[in-house]
Structure 1
Amino acid sequence: MNELEAPNISFPCDYPIKVVGDTRAGLHEDVYEIVLKHDPSLTTDKVSQRTSRKGNFISISFMLRAVGQEQLEALFDDLKKLEAVRMVL
């Protein structure tokens, strides 16, 4: 595989996602609500949150049950629409 090729993912699978955003009240809930639209089976025990050392940013990590590339692309697009979100990995 060269550097430009995307990895070959076999669906369905558990797919880790991390959202990095500005620290603000309600971001965790907003992210969780969006993810639930794309994976209704997500439970709170599959979601974790960390605050940056200086407290300016938070990262929200979760394990999504991915069923296809279209689902992942739609989720990433919806998450990026949140004003406080800086990155989706």
Structure 2
Amino acid sequence: MSPVNESLFEFPCDFPIKVMGKSHPDFTDTIVTVIRQFDNEFDASRIETRPSSGGNYTGLTVTVRALSREHLDDIYRALTGHPMVKVVL
């Protein structure tokens, strides 16, 4: 009997991740550095940036090339564990 693949995604795939953090001049560059630990070809020009209405927070949508479920989980863990990041979706 073969193992059941529980993933809803076929890997590799481009996967958008939303990252929220306090507004800071280095926030975007810091997130790019974290992602490039897992995807050294990550294209920073594809980041969508949205400041909050009050300007206190910045939301980024970053699209990563996920090679496997484990790879994607590693990226999420690195982002959620970073002190500048408040929320990852």
Flag structure 2 segments of 5+ consecutive residues without an equivalent: 1-5
**What is the aligned length?**
84
Quote the Cα distance in structure 2 between the aligned partners of 1:48 and 1:73.
21
Aligned residue number for residue 28 of structure 1: 28
What aligned pairs does 1:41-80 form with structure 2 within 5 A after superposition? 41-80=41-80
Aligned to 1:3: none
TM-score by length of 2: 0.85
CA RMSD of aligned residues (A): 1.4
The CA deviation string for residues 37-58 of structure 1, in whole angstroms up to 9 with x for no partner, is 1111211222121111100110
Partner Cα distance (1:53, 1:43) in 2: 27
Which runs of structure 1 show a deviation greater than 2 angstroms over 4 or more consecutive aligned residues? none
Partner of 2:87: 87
Q: Distance in 2 between matches of 1:75 and 1:18?
A: 12
Identity of aligned residues (%): 26
Matched position secondary structure for 1:8: coil
How far apart are 1:7 and its partner, in Å? 5.6
TM-score, normalization by structure 1: 0.85
Q: Which moved more, 1:52-61 or 1:21-30?
A: 21-30
